[in-house]
Structure 1
């Protein structure tokens, strides 16, 4: 188009981390439509430039290096792969999945190796420091596709920060394979507080106002060997947060999720802050407490474990996926249990069909839904679902990630609420996390709590917890700004003639269902999507959109993605029948100045040829 550059400067970032120069970023730049297609097709010009990626789809290079180091000592780098998970039980589940999916696979070729602290090394003798632990599942290399499915769908894999931490311990001999230890020198597990060893990984991004947070200039980077430097991980914030507070950081995060901690205060103040059950943002359920909140390494791991624990406490039965879901939730229900009934439209007709099935005697374990859904932003009828669940005895699991608990309150209608803390709760796009809440009023609460007493493992790596706590302190203030900006962008897109449909809870035909759960001071969230009449228009618009462009959502900066291309490239016709057309672009709107965002979106819309947009 005359007057517009043919190559835009922000399109030169293919394969780089989002945010830039962030070692543990959870998004990656796919700046053009062609790059997204190339990524899905595995084209070398894209794949060769990928420095990172969303952690469940792209195993961080530091984890890959660690896996190779383990194989070099305990396996065969030519014929085997190693999948790294956080615990022995995670490794056992991975091995079971590999064997179940591949009946011809010789069980003796799939080994679970547990790496533990060496009991005689000084670096691990101090009980006040976190112990390096990791489990490796070693299997024949040709079964990588199955292992990748497990990594992606379950979220059981380790984080990149844990990978770096344990790799250093592996190299210096302070962490060893458990069977190499004799009974006489087996490590004794400490019940003291978890803290860090000297070596830690630190994001090296410096400066003020990174990704929407205000903070002081960073202090000098910690140097290995400096006695005091091992005590701090967040020097870039100028706060010198001691690693001794890792357990307290997890408690502060749980209090925020419980809705009882909403102030932007430092960790010490947060711990002293009394739990205010009368707070307007507290979960509106009698007897609810922070003890009903569980942390996981990522949101999908919370979903996977919600399903797993329900099966353990109630027995194995099929589940229901209601509404067009984020792809991996449906896969979890289908592949890690007796299957699922899928209602992709999430409308009243499908609830009518479900009611007929229930009246006919069909039994279900649970119904999973998102509130609202991703990427169509439709809201399920939670009141009716709750009534059916009470009458026919199945659990309701609601994913509140998109709505988030400062905008909506879904717990009164759910038995279990799950969320990805990686998203807007963190905002900085540099740490993974997930949560699960058990409703104390649920008929399954007692059985689930008993199951969790034996099955729950706190596998969220301590350093990740520290970042998550710091990132989430200003959660309340950020949400209001994001709500405002997203609604503003929705209004711009809705009036353009090239745009076929804008999906946003405020403008959805399910707005009345969203409003049932909307809090008095809540908004409609920071996520929206749009489809275009013409596929070429969508591509031109996307290529000229001056935002970060890559996977994930809920970032403090605006992040755009041709979502259906990226999530359903090999099943486009299937997705289209549920309203997820290939021209759909999803926008996770951030904290930028509203007028600046307006110019960015208007510029991209102006790039669409007039003949197409009229």
Structure 2
């Protein structure tokens, strides 16, 4: 086909899942520079081959199939599309966004549907995960707006939930109910208001906020049950789509304990919950009064950021926010589109903080400052000590995204009111499940008001099967971090020594290292993410095309994953990104667990392919 790039053997994978042959993969192969550009420009030779994509940017085939089924039942396949969400609340926020962004469209054209377990199904025997999904049907021409909501907020359903609900819809155990039935169903919930939230499991025992169980517990915060699933039963339940609610609840508790730093054992459930260590190592959240109750799970990291912003507005009123440092693209979009505005400080340097302090002194007030520690993709670290001092003096919250640094390397909670993270990344490592978390600092002046908001607003929307995968993937999290740190430094050393490389971005060698070190744990490293820019675009392309790693979006994988990040994330705003130091030649590397010498050889080989410019 004319115009196709010449493919080297390891680059003949355009559109395949990463990891290969993984139905719920989080990444997709874009193995050449031209493939990334072609993807951004919508060229068919790439787009038509894509088996998957990063879930907030690509609608998984299982989700699309269920959406079409819903439209076929309640709309027009020629005129309508559907967006799918875990709850009616999420769907309602999508509808509101569609109305706000399209004021000339009558609100009556949007239809919100809720699908719930069929009322007559038996609840005898072990409690099982029950299918639930909500849908917004909207005119096809409003797809860009609906897609923006899906991408920016992370509110959409996962592909595993879509498969689960598709099967339930086909066998009649999932049915659509009207708003009047929904009101009747809500009266079945008993107890304090904080527990009156529909869950995607049998609500007879697991109505609690933040995954807490009602009724008698076994000391671990889960309802006691006999015969927890072993590995064989896990396989039967996984492929039979007959998931144990008890087992899913145990998995969620284990994830939350792991995030809290009080669970470090690599053993099966439920035994690992009994063997949990509480603050026994320097890798725990060393903040007095902090507990697993301060950890909240979300379907993905961006949803944790969106919900943190939303909770702060509900608790403190709608004020503009601050985005400090060059951000991952959707964080800035959330602050721009779902609130009264944002002050953007894209350099994230001392001059930016000086300017912010001057505005604060002049009387400007803000809701919160959002930052990453360190930033993606420039790996610059914000001065959290100074930011904390400004926040205390001028009354704004600090929200820190610790995804890149991760809590085994850095300890940012003392400087933050809220810490968010994408569990999709290194916490999971296997690149086959999405997840996110938000934790509250119990010493924050906003702690009580946020807890009150979350008691009413929080919905546990992480699908139970996703939780089971996430828990299993994260058991060896501690061991993996040390190896990733070591490998990343080895790759950094190679790149820094090559004359074609203009700049290597890594916390250890950045001018902001002192800010990183101020939060680094005694045994913490500098993380597995780095990036490099080249003196010429040609060199960047040659290097990337000859690099024998997996190549696609996402990061934090157990295998090394590379991407021309600025091309992929900012293709339509390259000049804007460049002014903040994000050069179009930038290649980002998420370093994995490979044998160190073999990894060094891969990078040396790709660098050797760059033509010599001497003479």
Instruction: Give the TM-score of the pair, scaled to structure 1.
Output: 0.90
Structure 2 residue 20 is matched with structure 1 residue 8: no
CA distance 1:329–1:229, change in 2 (3 Å): closer
Q: State the Cα deviation string for residues 90-146 of structure 1 (Å, max 9, x = none).
A: 011000000000100110001110101111134x66671111000000111100000
Please, which runs of 5 or more residues in structure 2 have no aligned partner?
190-201, 208-229
Between 160-169 and 273-282, the greater mean CA deviation after superposition: 273-282
Give the aligned partner of residue 89 of structure 1.
Answer: 89
CA RMSD, Structure 1 to Structure 2 (Å): 2.2
Alpha-carbon separation, structure 2, partners of 1:6 and 1:137: 43
Structure 2 counterpart of 1:438: 440
**Alpha-carbon distance in 2 for matches of 1:184, 1:344:** 46
Question: Which residue of 2 is the match for residue 260 of structure 1?
Answer: 262
Task: Please list the CA deviations of residues 489-545 of structure 1 after superposition, one character each: whole Å capped at 9, or x if unmatched.
Answer: 000000000000000000101011100000000000000000000100000000000
Alignment pair present for 1:133 and 2:145? no
> Unpaired segments of 5 or more residues in structure 1?
196-217, 221-227
Query: Which residue of 2 is the match for residue 499 of structure 1?
Result: 501
Deviation of residue 241 (structure 1)? 10
Judged with a 3 Å threshold, the aligned counterparts in structure 2 of structure 1 residues 183 and 398 are, in CA distance, closer, same or farther, namely closer
Which residue of the partner structure matches residue 238 of structure 2?
233
Please state whether the residue corresponding to 1:472 is helix, strand or coil: helix
Partner SS state of residue 474, structure 1: helix
Separation of aligned partners in 1, 2:437 and 2:231: 32
* Inter-partner Cα distance in structure 2 for 1:241 and 1:454: 27
1:43-442 to structure 2, matched below 5 A, reads 43-122=43-122, 128-179=127-178, 190-193=202-205, 232-233=237-238, 244-442=246-444
**8 Å Cα contact 1:483-1:525 kept in structure 2:** yes
Cα drift, residue 262 of structure 1: 1.6
Q: Which whole-Å CA distance do the structure 2 matches of 1:6 and 1:95 have between them?
A: 45
- Distance in 1 between the 2:231 and 2:412 partners? 42
Q: 1:604 aligns with which of 588, 603, 606?
A: 606
Aligned to 1:202: none
Give the deviation of 1:584 after TM superposition. 0.1
| Offset of residue 277 of structure 1 | 2.9
Equivalences, count: 575
* Cα distance change on mapping 1:171 and 1:500 into 2, 3 Å: same
SS at match of 2:238: coil
SS of equivalent residue, structure 2 residue 286: coil
Structure 2 counterpart of 1:583, from 577, 582, 585? 585
Task: Please name the residue that 2:539 is paired with.
Answer: 537
1:192 to partner: Cα distance: 3.2
Runs of 4+ in 1 over 2 A off after TM superposition: 124-127, 179-195, 228-235, 240-244
- Give me the whole-angstrom Cα distance separating, in 1, the residues matched to 2:304 and 2:88: 18
**2 CA distance for matches of 1:450 and 1:388?**
25
Matched, 1:508 2:510: yes
Against the structure 1 CA distance between its residues 383 and 186, is the aligned structure 2 distance closer, same or farther, given a 3 Å change threshold? closer
**Separation in 1 of the partners of 2:338 and 2:179?**
33
- Using the TM superposition, give the Cα deviation of residue 600 of structure 1 relative to its aligned residue in structure 2, in angstroms: 0.5
Q: Contact between 1:232 and 1:243, CA under 8 Å: does it hold in 2? A: no
